[in-house]
Amino acid sequence: MKTFIFIHGSWHGSWNWHRIVPILEKAGHRTIALDLPGMGRDKTPIHQVTLQTSVDAICNLLDTIEEKVILVGHSKNGILISQAAEYRPHKIEKLVYLAAYLIPNGKTQREYSMQDTEGVLKPFVKFYEDLNATTLDRAIYKEGLYADCDEHIVQLANVLLSHEPFASGVTPLQLTEENFGSVPRVYIECTKDRAVTPFIQRKMYTEMPCEKVYSMATSHSPFFSKPQELADILEEV
């Protein structure tokens, strides 16, 4: 049996994983879904959140766990699991990128996001200079994030989506082959994704080859739309 740590994407929180967790736990696995600093139930002031503070939160959690974990990152916060693997390679059995940003040393998430010209979210992102954070307009929730999800997921998002720290996306990753490169990684692409489109997903896992690539015919949030299929993939991983 394995220990899975789940890292949510932009604007979200640990509630992302509420359909996956019981499936994996019923199969005997241990699961931990983290609220990143300033997100979900974590009350860190959003303007204080950086790439480093977010990665530190993951590393501090890893330090409390004896066994190696499978670290799963969604969307933007693939960058966080990469940087955490640089700092704690001995604590991670595998990295799983779920429609997530998998980018090389010295690059930023924003650099790759700007190449994704077919994504639908950008016109709906509002930047707050005083908070150094963004929000996403509700008008794009369904089309951009939950196209194949139950309507009540959109209603949950209307209540629960929050500010997203901007600093982490413009901070270059610092990765080495000795540390980050030593941790096996897999990619789960979402072929109907309009937030992180198949174009940019394939570009990333082609540039940064993975042990295996799985495909799901879903939009950006398969943990809501096809939780059993995603759980089956994670069990195979």
What is the CA 102 to chain-centroid distance, rounded? 10
What span, in angstroms and rounded, lies between the C-alpha atoms of 57 and 62?
A: 9
pLDDT per position as a tens digit, 103-146: 999 999 999 999 999 999 999 999 999 999 999 999 999 999 99
Report the pLDDT value the prediction gives residue 113, as an integer from 0 to 100. 97
What is the CA 10 to chain-centroid distance, rounded? 8
What span, in angstroms and rounded, lies between the C-alpha atoms of 191 and 154?
A: 20
**Sites in the chain below the pLDDT cut of 50:** none
Report the pLDDT value the prediction gives residue 64, as an integer from 0 to 100. 97
- What is the 3 state secondary structure string of the chain? CCEEEEECCCCCCHHHHCCHHHHHHHCCCEEEEECCCCCCCCCCCHHHCCHHHHHHHHHHHHCCCCCCEEEEEEHHHHHHHHHHHHHCHHHEEEEEEECCCCCCCCCCHHHHHCCCCCCCCHHHEEEECCCCEEEECHHHHHHHHCCCCCHHHHHHHHHHCCCEECHHHHCCCCCCCCCHHHCCEEEEEECCCCCCCHHHHHHHHHHCCCCEEEEECCCCCHHHHCHHHHHHHHHHC
Report the pLDDT value the prediction gives residue 37, as an integer from 0 to 100. 97
Structural domain boundaries of the chain? 3-236
Whole-number Cα distances in Å, 202 to 77, 130, 207: 17, 35, 8
What span, in angstroms and rounded, lies between the C-alpha atoms of 18 and 16?
A: 6
Q: Could you tell me the pTM of the whole model? A: 0.97
Report whether CATH 3.40.50.1820 matches the domain 3-236: yes
Report the pLDDT value the prediction gives residue 25, as an integer from 0 to 100. 98
